[in-house]
Structure 1
Amino acid sequence: MNLSDPTQFAVDLTNCDREPIHRLGRIQGFGFLVAASMDWMIQHVSANVGAFVDGCSPDSLLGEPLDTLLPSAAMHAVRGRLQLLTHNEGSERLFGFDLLGTGRPFDVAVHVSGHSIVIEAEPSAEGPATNPGTLVKSLIARIQRTDDLAGLFRESVRQLRGVTGFDRVMLYRFADDNSGEVVAESSRSGLESFLGLHYPATDIPQQARALYVRNQIRIIADVDAEPVPIEPGLDPNGETLDLSLSLLRAVSPIHIEYLKNMGVSASFSISIVIDGRLWGLFALHHYSARHLAMELRSTTELFGQMISLIIEARLQKEQRRAEETVRDLHDRFVGKIVSATPSVEALADFADDLRQIVPCDGFAVYAKGTTRSFGLCPLADDMPALARFLNRAAASRIYATDELAAVHPAAENYADRVAGILAIPISRSPRDYLLFFRKEIVQTIQWAGDPASKLGTFGPNGPRLTPRKSFEAWQETVRGKSLAFTEAERKAAETLRVSILEVLLRFNEETERRQSLAAQRQELLIAELNHRVRNILSLIRALIVQSRPGVRSVDEFASIIGGRIQALARAHDQITKQNFAAQDLAEIIQTEVQAYIGSKAGRVRLDGPEIHVEARAFSTLALVFHEMVTNSAKYGALSDSSGSVTVSWHIDANDTCQIDWRETGGPPVAPPSRRGFGSTIIERSIPHDLGGDAEVTYHLSGLAARFGLPASHYQLRDGDTQRLPIGEAPQTAETMTETGSLQGLSALIVEDNMIIALDAEQILLDNGIARVFTAASVADALAILDAEAVDLAMLDVNLGSETSFALIGPLNRKNIPFIFVTGYGEALDLPEDAGPVESIKKPFADHHMLAALARANARRAVAG
């Protein structure tokens, strides 16, 4: 025996938890399996392929291209289904499909296993087809009318038995320790009931639980049928085919024997998965061979997923109700202790309130070595030892157990009063606790056989389960345990801990901390205020000194100084009204225009994208534009009744905001005979303070100025920025070349599969396409082309009952570049009038599609 070969694993009851059940190398014989590589070469074939495909054998198929077995239509369908798979999880299915091109319908499942594409097929069932949506809707409607979870469980198994025809349908619910209980059952008359029986966690090994989560339906059509090997058992790398997602996967010999011991000939299971965890399982048993068609199995899988959501919603609803009740009790308790501001010891005065929040049989406060207790509690002499035991737990977490004596042997001394405890630590030094105690609850559990001794005799697979005795009800009396503390009660206790520590016990410490922080903030604010006031005073002093030369009167001097200080004040107002947020460049200019020239403001025209200037640049820009406006009003275009000013801005290739000031229609302009402080502000402020540039030109027809504002001092809004937003991955030179030409275009997607069309649409929108139109047929596409402006098109070759080739002529006449998307692989035969068009194969990657469209657009542009 090859120990490295999983197909040679010798399984018995002592090692079934390690059996590689997903790599058994065999399938059930009611269908056949073909596995192909990602380039469509056949790697594995089930040995029974000849029973379904005339003239074929594994030896004749292995290593050959898949299209030697499947016709082109089937290849196209398989590629399309692969495109729908998400992260290689689950399988996609086709029902009543002519897989082999012989006219015989098959139900087909396709999934990806490692580096292989696995195709499983079984003959379609005869008779009328199932409408999955209608059937599931009918089932769910009956179930939703139930009042509680117990009624939901009963109705679920009844409906499943009616739909599937199995002799027995059970619903297992798993406990936290992975043991299971039959919580609902529907069976034909004459069968012994399993309702209420418990099953140990070992009855479903861990690897089987994992498969129940990944592959949520499992059929065993006939326990007496011989499994069919997969040829070859090992690939060239010595590995077996992973059948985790297979619908035909063979059954572990030990599980076959388990079912035979129960007299079960066929079984079917449907997983109930909640929050990624195996919450329960529908187990269907039949006492003769029984096979369900793949379409019906898929329908019940959808039913199981819907039931999972309904159960989860009802569980959450129950939990919310319990949490709301506890929250109300908690809020009332907090209100009481806040008003009383008690000490730790005084919390015992609120024992009744606390016992309502966490139901218990006894309550105690252990603080500073003393105890105050109520109800069933350990004696005061037992408390120090219990506190030392609790001290070993984490200091900032609650501790709860329903079997205290199992972890703290000294608790045996008071087991008649206390079996379970929940402890809330409420201080660090000394360690004090709120303690909630629960008494022993004697439980009688009915097991389906003794879980500790299920081995009976020896069978073909080693130690085996003795028939009948393994499944007779066996009662176990459990002592020393209390009612367990639920997750909701643990959360309530944690909320209590936070409230007591943070709101009450640390109230004085928090108050002192806040006072200290407030004092620090006040000192920082005062220092910042002093700094800003000194800067403003220094700036005003400089304005006064620099504005004095050249003035002819005190009034003129006052006017100049007043205007410049007002410009600073207006800039300051704009900053503070938005809490130092960036402000619109247009508003800065408009503020100066409206403040200085009033009625002439309509003669100033602003044009440019929405630029928001950072607060640190406000004062500089306000002064510059104040000088520009006042100069124009005194000497330039705004000094008479006919001139106008245009201020425009744009972002250049260096991400600099270029601001252009143009005056026209005013009196003739001549360069100034002397340079005053205003000219200095205009020409030197932006270069000196902001690291930009400035240039002023005195044309006879009117003054022109250009100012360059670096990218660090502004933000470009409305998505027009040429800089990447924060968090966006930078584009490479290659992707910029290929996809940059797609920005702002409109595209047409012709695809009969809605999910693939939606996926392609989102890819295009995410990569700069402005508008996307989708069509499922040639007629729909022609209507769009007649009504809308389309720049690009992506055509799926096969649209079900027609091809997209009929669109080639209309697209060429409108000079619209296009590409084809196909599931036919390399064998695509295009019409002559298609020209040098590019095609991409399904399943396609995002960047392949985008690059192909960009190249098509570029080729058409060159040809045009």
Structure 2
Amino acid sequence: MTDPSQQADLTSCDREPIHLLGRVQSFGCMIGLTSDWIVSCHSDNAAQMLGRAPDAGAMIAEPAAEVLGPELQHRLRNRIQMLRAGHGAEMITRVELPTGLFDLSLHVSGETIVLEFEPHQAGAADDAVTTVRRIIERVSQYSGPGRLFEDAAHFLQLDTGFDRVMFYRFLDDGTGEVIAEARAPGMESYMGLRYPASDIPRQARALYLRNTIRLIADSSDEGVPIRPAVDPMGRIIDLSGSVLRSVSPIHLQYLRNMGVAASMSISIIVDGKLWGLVACHHRTPLVLSQVKRNAAQLFGQMFSLVLQSKLIDEERRHDDQVRDLTAAIARAASSEQPVTRMLLDCVADFMPLLEADGVAVVVEGAVETRGSVPGTEEILSLARALNRTPAGQVYVTDHLAGLSPAAAEHAGVASGLLAIPVSRLPRDYILFFRRELPRKVTWAGNPDKPATAGLPGGQLSPRESFAAWAEEVRGRSDEWSRAQRRIAGQLRVSLLEVVLRLTDEASRLRKTAGEKQELLISELNHRVRNILGLVRGLVSQTSVSEISTAEMVAVLESRIQALARAHDQITRDNWAPASLRELVRVEAECYLLDRQDRVAVSGADVLLMPTAFSAVALVVHELMTNSAKYGSLSVPGGDVQLTIESDPDDALILCWTERGGPEVREPERRGFGSTIIERSVPFELQGEAEVAYRPEGLCARFWIPAVHVRPGLPSGEVARLPLAEAAARVARSPRRVLVLEDNLVIAMDAEGIFRDLGAENVILAASNAQASQHLRASAFDLALLDVNLGAETSFPFAEQLLAAGIPFAFASGYGEGADFPDLLRNAPRFSKPYNAGTIRKVLAQMSLEGRSGAA
């Protein structure tokens, strides 16, 4: 057993500067040139190999033309021009030098032009490109990646002459696995073996991306040093792009421990990432010619493209399946069943595609399951544990106990998890489970002892044994493939669309169901606040010494009524814009009675948005009230001209002009009513208000921004408000009245109004039963019915009154928007709050219609 104190930190492998070893393999030589083509460094064997003086440093600082000859320098200058931004390498074959023919590789490292020479091998295949093209055409015909690797391995083994050629795939955990192999007789098979991630450290993988082919001709070759070792700035030359770069002593020992004297690796790059390697091993040293290496490199590049195409085709087939399944989800999605049950029915079809043994849907604490899954409490515990994972991402594990240690207890039911979040807060999930897959993983040596610090100086020593070492794996499921994780991502997008649609539908239904109640509550609260504000403003701006308490109550009551009427008009059609003409008509009708025909309105009608309607209603109310008390409407001959216009920007211009009234003087102080007229529109609507106190009559102009205005119904140029004949004369109050109202204060207020109007007997009832008793006991002339009586409505009693021929009218806190039975739909109705003027209006309407009962 290895002493724990001798265990090496394998991260030192990741930190080893394998591109800065300052040596090249001895089967070739290297020369470095400055940007002005002066020799800056070279390998110790360069002078001898290229036929120069034996002095190792004789070439330093010499011009390249002196060392290489002007003709070769000219060729090199042209080739270096072809290098893209200093990346890649250029190859020149059969370069004639004093000592023979050489193959040359040219690349740029930082500020150094690197030339690498190796003896040209006579008899190297000139048709290598044709051979590569033919084998690629052959393997491209396979429908899937299965035989692709087998045939490619056999081709490379025959073409390169290596004793063993393996296709090595990187797994998600960084380990590697041999998935295909071709070998000469007598070579040990590595097929199916797993290699620890530390066997190919991170910086080595980075170099495999940059330099896609790598030859190690002799694992016993320590390499030839480069002179000088550092440049004038103290830097070691970077040989990342070198074909001759020497090898880390650790890796050389690693190869020797495997019984490998020569090796070559070819990178397999898919979608810009290192997918795997082709690893070639030989039992004796082997220098593969540059032509052969170039052909192998070309094969690796073309093979990578073929593999990527096969993987894309496979993804496309999966995409088609996912598309069909997600289309079924969209069709099956219904808000008529619980969301969890609907989602479960939809995602269960994905179980075969994801190779899952069970699925669970977790939505707002509710759980629905199918197949092999843990218990409900365990699933909810897993959902809580998943809340610690990154939001909005599919979570995958083949070792569920790593997420939640308690999951180890039900490993036989679920050891793997693929979790798809389908909401943000609180997080809801679709969970796919896999059972435990007890299995043996065969490693190339013990993965727990990959290296020891056994070399002199504390250097890392690679593991020595590559004998198959079997590890029993428990508590894990089969691994989720990249394709399955991609499917999960697509499913998540589709599920989010369905969940959002269901959420929107549920939200819409809830909104529709509670819309009237919510509107009533919010508006009631808003209006109460407005009324309290009016009371506070009136009290603070009008002293009792200047106005009597009775007058103060009357003014406050009139303003409350104006707000109530405005509220009724805009809520009649679910908070829709309301007519300006209707607003003026209602105000004139309620407050001028027999004088309402003296208000003439000209111009096309417009609709005011709810946000503006109440403010304009108060302004019109104050204008109407002031004119009736002090202005043109206070004398028989006066009238008011109201014009409605629009400016080029569709803003509303409203002009109020009084004529024929008493002489007008500008008031010495502004009352609360004047403040409302002059400031409401600018303050609340960001509009403008101009008020002129002319002797012949008050004139006011209001500009209301277009955002508060909508087009109204077309009308004539001038339209006088209609005059109800019965409203012009004083209606006679009924002698006996029944008030059906469940609120005692409101009932007593109605009783006082009717008594003030001359009623001799007012009967109060709080329910249909009480009202029916009074009806059986004695007759009465009129009934005032509150629509809503708490747990019941007054509609049953109204039908009794209709049968008895007794007139009645409805009062409602819901305004005219209340839902009435067809039999009572035409009955007179008005909105709360009401006053004596409202009652007079109802009596006048009933007198005009000449009905003995509501029809």
TM-score normalized by the length of structure 1? 0.56
> Is 1:252 aligned to residue 252 of structure 2?
no
> Is 1:40 aligned to residue 56 of structure 2?
no
**Which residue in the other structure is 1:325 paired with?**
321
Question: In the alignment, which of 472, 476, 487 is matched to residue 477 of structure 1?
Answer: 472
Check the 8 A contact 1:27/1:229 in 2, yes or no: yes
> Is 1:494 aligned to residue 492 of structure 2?
yes
Report the alpha carbon displacement of residue 462 of structure 1 after superposing the two structures with TM.
Answer: 4.6
> Is 1:503 aligned to residue 501 of structure 2?
yes
Q: State how 1:299-338 maps to structure 2 within 5 Å.
A: 299-338=295-334
Shift in alpha-carbon separation, 1:498–1:356, aligned structure 2, 3 A: farther
Report the alpha carbon displacement of residue 231 of structure 1 after superposing the two structures with TM.
Answer: 0.3
**Which residue in the other structure is 2:545 paired with?**
none
Matched to 1:337, the amino acid is A
Report the alpha carbon displacement of residue 228 of structure 1 after superposing the two structures with TM.
Answer: 0.7
Map Cα deviations across residues 749-776 of structure 1 (whole Å, 9 max, x no partner).
xxxxxxxxxxxxxxxxxxxxxxxxxxxx
Instruction: Provide the rounded CA distance (Å) in 2 between the counterparts of 1:103 and 1:253.
Output: 31
Check the 8 A contact 1:423/1:436 in 2, yes or no: yes
Report the alpha carbon displacement of residue 303 of structure 1 after superposing the two structures with TM.
Answer: 0.7
- How many residue pairs get aligned? The number is 516
Map Cα deviations across residues 112-145 of structure 1 (whole Å, 9 max, x no partner).
1011111111121112552343122122133224
> Is 1:408 aligned to residue 400 of structure 2?
no
Check the 8 A contact 1:425/1:431 in 2, yes or no: yes
Report the alpha carbon displacement of residue 166 of structure 1 after superposing the two structures with TM.
Answer: 1.1
**Which residue in the other structure is 1:50 paired with?**
47
Instruction: Provide the rounded CA distance (Å) in 1 between the counterparts of 2:432 and 2:145.
Output: 30
Instruction: Provide the rounded CA distance (Å) in 1 between the counterparts of 2:262 and 2:311.
Output: 32
Report the alpha carbon displacement of residue 328 of structure 1 after superposing the two structures with TM.
Answer: 0.4
**Which residue in the other structure is 2:417 paired with?**
421
**Which residue in the other structure is 1:280 paired with?**
276
Q: State how 1:223-242 maps to structure 2 within 5 Å.
A: 223-242=219-238
**Which residue in the other structure is 1:687 paired with?**
none
Check the 8 A contact 2:322/2:491 in 1, yes or no: no
Question: In the alignment, which of 226, 248, 270 is matched to residue 266 of structure 2?
Answer: 270
Map Cα deviations across residues 718-754 of structure 1 (whole Å, 9 max, x no partner).
xxxxxxxxxxxxxxxxxxxxxxxxxxxxxxxxxxxxx
Report the alpha carbon displacement of residue 425 of structure 1 after superposing the two structures with TM.
Answer: 3.1
Instruction: Provide the rounded CA distance (Å) in 2 between the counterparts of 1:523 and 1:58.
Output: 98
**Which residue in the other structure is 1:740 paired with?**
none
Instruction: Provide the rounded CA distance (Å) in 2 between the counterparts of 1:357 and 1:428.
Output: 26
Instruction: Provide the rounded CA distance (Å) in 2 between the counterparts of 1:369 and 1:402.
Output: 25
Instruction: Provide the rounded CA distance (Å) in 2 between the counterparts of 1:15 and 1:455.
Output: 11
Instruction: Provide the rounded CA distance (Å) in 2 between the counterparts of 1:290 and 1:354.
Output: 52
Map Cα deviations across residues 652-706 of structure 1 (whole Å, 9 max, x no partner).
xxxxxxxxxxxxxxxxxxxxxxxxxxxxxxxxxxxxxxxxxxxxxxxxxxxxxxx
Shift in alpha-carbon separation, 1:103–1:448, aligned structure 2, 3 A: closer
Matched to 2:472, the amino acid is T
SS in 2 for 1:500: helix
**Which residue in the other structure is 2:435 paired with?**
439
Report the alpha carbon displacement of residue 489 of structure 1 after superposing the two structures with TM.
Answer: 3.1
34-43 or 102-111: which moved more? 102-111
Check the 8 A contact 2:335/2:502 in 1, yes or no: no
Instruction: Provide the rounded CA distance (Å) in 1 between the counterparts of 2:79 and 2:56.
Output: 25
334-343 or 437-446: which moved more? 334-343
| Aligned residues with identical type, % of pairs | 41
Check the 8 A contact 1:271/1:278 in 2, yes or no: yes
**Which residue in the other structure is 1:120 paired with?**
116
Matched to 2:84, the amino acid is T
Question: In the alignment, which of 328, 347, 372 is matched to residue 376 of structure 1?
Answer: 372
Check the 8 A contact 1:343/1:505 in 2, yes or no: no
TM-score normalized by the length of structure 2? 0.56
Check the 8 A contact 1:182/1:197 in 2, yes or no: yes
Report the alpha carbon displacement of residue 393 of structure 1 after superposing the two structures with TM.
Answer: 3.0
Instruction: Provide the rounded CA distance (Å) in 2 between the counterparts of 1:68 and 1:507.
Output: 84
Question: In the alignment, which of 148, 154, 157 is matched to residue 153 of structure 2?
Answer: 157
489-498 or 303-312: which moved more? 489-498
Matched to 1:477, the amino acid is E
Instruction: Provide the rounded CA distance (Å) in 2 between the counterparts of 1:13 and 1:393.
Output: 28
Question: In the alignment, which of 182, 186, 189 is matched to residue 178 of structure 2?
Answer: 182
Shift in alpha-carbon separation, 1:534–1:450, aligned structure 2, 3 A: closer
Matched to 1:185, the amino acid is E
Check the 8 A contact 1:35/1:119 in 2, yes or no: yes
**Which residue in the other structure is 1:205 paired with?**
201
Report the alpha carbon displacement of residue 355 of structure 1 after superposing the two structures with TM.
Answer: 3.7
Structure 1 unaligned runs (5+)? 1-10, 536-864
Shift in alpha-carbon separation, 1:143–1:63, aligned structure 2, 3 A: same
Instruction: Provide the rounded CA distance (Å) in 2 between the counterparts of 1:159 and 1:480.
Output: 40
457-466 or 412-421: which moved more? 457-466
Report the alpha carbon displacement of residue 399 of structure 1 after superposing the two structures with TM.
Answer: 2.8
Instruction: Provide the rounded CA distance (Å) in 2 between the counterparts of 1:226 and 1:348.
Output: 63
Instruction: Provide the rounded CA distance (Å) in 1 between the counterparts of 2:242 and 2:108.
Output: 10
SS in 2 for 1:483: coil
Shift in alpha-carbon separation, 1:193–1:376, aligned structure 2, 3 A: same
Q: State how 1:314-713 maps to structure 2 within 5 Å.
A: 314-338=310-334, 343-344=339-340, 346-350=342-346, 352-353=348-349, 355=351, 358-455=354-451, 458-459=454-455, 462=459, 464-465=461-462, 467=464, 470-485=465-480, 486-507=484-505
Q: Flag the structure with larger Rg.
A: 2
Map Cα deviations across residues 305-330 of structure 1 (whole Å, 9 max, x no partner).
00000011101111110121121011
SS in 1 for 2:58: helix
Question: In the alignment, which of 29, 32, 55 is matched to residue 26 of structure 2?
Answer: 29
SS in 2 for 1:23: coil
Matched to 1:65, the amino acid is P
Shift in alpha-carbon separation, 1:466–1:385, aligned structure 2, 3 A: closer
Runs of 4+ in 1 over 6 A off after TM superposition: 11-14, 510-513, 529-535
Shift in alpha-carbon separation, 1:138–1:410, aligned structure 2, 3 A: same
Instruction: Provide the rounded CA distance (Å) in 2 between the counterparts of 1:48 and 1:510.
Output: 83
Instruction: Provide the rounded CA distance (Å) in 2 between the counterparts of 1:351 and 1:499.
Output: 14
SS in 2 for 1:15: helix
SS in 2 for 1:52: helix
Instruction: Provide the rounded CA distance (Å) in 2 between the counterparts of 1:96 and 1:319.
Output: 45
Check the 8 A contact 1:37/1:115 in 2, yes or no: yes
144-153 or 172-181: which moved more? 144-153
Instruction: Provide the rounded CA distance (Å) in 2 between the counterparts of 1:359 and 1:223.
Output: 45
Instruction: Provide the rounded CA distance (Å) in 2 between the counterparts of 1:340 and 1:509.
Output: 14
Report the alpha carbon displacement of residue 415 of structure 1 after superposing the two structures with TM.
Answer: 2.1
**Which residue in the other structure is 1:727 paired with?**
none
Instruction: Provide the rounded CA distance (Å) in 1 between the counterparts of 2:32 and 2:608.
Output: 74
Instruction: Provide the rounded CA distance (Å) in 2 between the counterparts of 1:32 and 1:193.
Output: 35
Shift in alpha-carbon separation, 1:303–1:384, aligned structure 2, 3 A: closer
Shift in alpha-carbon separation, 1:351–1:195, aligned structure 2, 3 A: closer
Instruction: Provide the rounded CA distance (Å) in 1 between the counterparts of 2:138 and 2:361.
Output: 51
SS in 2 for 1:22: coil
Matched to 2:362, the amino acid is Y
Instruction: Provide the rounded CA distance (Å) in 2 between the counterparts of 1:380 and 1:182.
Output: 41
Matched to 1:199, the amino acid is Y
Check the 8 A contact 2:326/2:491 in 1, yes or no: no
Instruction: Provide the rounded CA distance (Å) in 2 between the counterparts of 1:316 and 1:323.
Output: 10
Shift in alpha-carbon separation, 1:65–1:392, aligned structure 2, 3 A: same
Report the alpha carbon displacement of residue 398 of structure 1 after superposing the two structures with TM.
Answer: 3.3
Structure 2 unaligned runs (5+)? 1-7, 512-573, 578-606, 610-644, 652-855
SS in 1 for 2:479: coil
45-54 or 375-384: which moved more? 375-384
Report the alpha carbon displacement of residue 74 of structure 1 after superposing the two structures with TM.
Answer: 0.9
